[in-house]
Structure 1
Amino acid sequence: MTFSRRLFATAALAATVVAVGLGTAWAIETTPYSDAAFKAAQSAGQPILIEIHAGWCPTCKAQKPIIDKLAAEPKFKDLKIFRVDFDDQKPVVKGFGAQMQSTLITFKGTTETGRSVGDTKEASIAALLDKSL
């Protein structure tokens, strides 16, 4: 079977469009934490996830694809994810009462609805996120 240049170019373009489209569909927006953005999300009554994260933490690295996958689900379309840097934002970490990285805290508006530390199981992280809805 011989491919013409036009057929090959068309197939390559189609593959690129599909890959870009899929990449966009799964792009999850994680916002660096700021008091102003957090308070605005709380005032709007949004479901919120606070992710206490450290770049060097293997548990945090394991949580990220799970959180990204769950946040891409339609029911979590309004979930606002704020990432708190464990090493650089110590006052914020302390303000949330977190003792260590890999802490996940959910809110529904101004009310804390749950938290977990070191969890890397998709089902229990999903249950935690459900509490924010």
Structure 2
Amino acid sequence: MTLRFASALFSAALLATPLFAAEKHAFTPQGFEAAQTAGKPILVEIHAPWCPTCKAQQPILEKLEKDAKFDALQVFHVDFDSQKDAVRDFHATTQSTLIVFKGKSETGRSVGDTGAASIAALLDKTL
């Protein structure tokens, strides 16, 4: 492989990788509390792998999470089926629930929303 070819491959990889992206985490009470204490903008996604609404939300959320204005966003995934304590603690009654926080303050939530504009408006409440 020539140096020029390797350089071109590296440049292409950089262009394909977003420079800004929200940080995604599996939910743990400790990680969530640390993000709150640090005053981070937070999105909690309560989802289930079998949920068609959750599947419809996923590409919208992935696109928004790559937006530079959400580069500090901390995203916590809560599995509706296996993390019942967390679901209960967030007072969620169903999967496809999105909850946003500014530090320790809840600033909004939605249930079953698959509209790109309204999900973007919800995430804006973390800023």
Q: Does 1:125 align with 2:119?
A: yes
18-27 or 42-51: bigger deviation: 18-27
Larger Rg: 1
Which of the numbers 88, 99, 106 marks the counterpart of 2:93?
A: 99
Aligned to 1:20: 13
Partners of 1:51 and 1:119 in 2: how far apart?
A: 12
SS of 1:106's equivalent in the other structure is: strand
Provide TM-score, normalisation by structure 1. Answer: 0.84
| Displacement after TM superposition at 1:64 (Å) | 1.1
Q: Number of aligned pairs? A: 124
The answer (yes or no) to whether the contact 2:97–2:111 under 8 Å persists in 1 is yes
| Displacement after TM superposition at 1:18 (Å) | 5.4
Q: CA RMSD in A?
A: 2.0
Gaps of 5+ in 2: none
The answer (yes or no) to whether the contact 1:106–1:114 under 8 Å persists in 2 is yes
Gaps of 5+ in 1: 1-5
* AA in 2 matched with 1:120: T
Q: 4+ residue runs of structure 1 moved beyond 6 angstroms?
A: none
Partners of 1:108 and 1:57 in 2: how far apart?
A: 27
Aligned to 1:109: 103
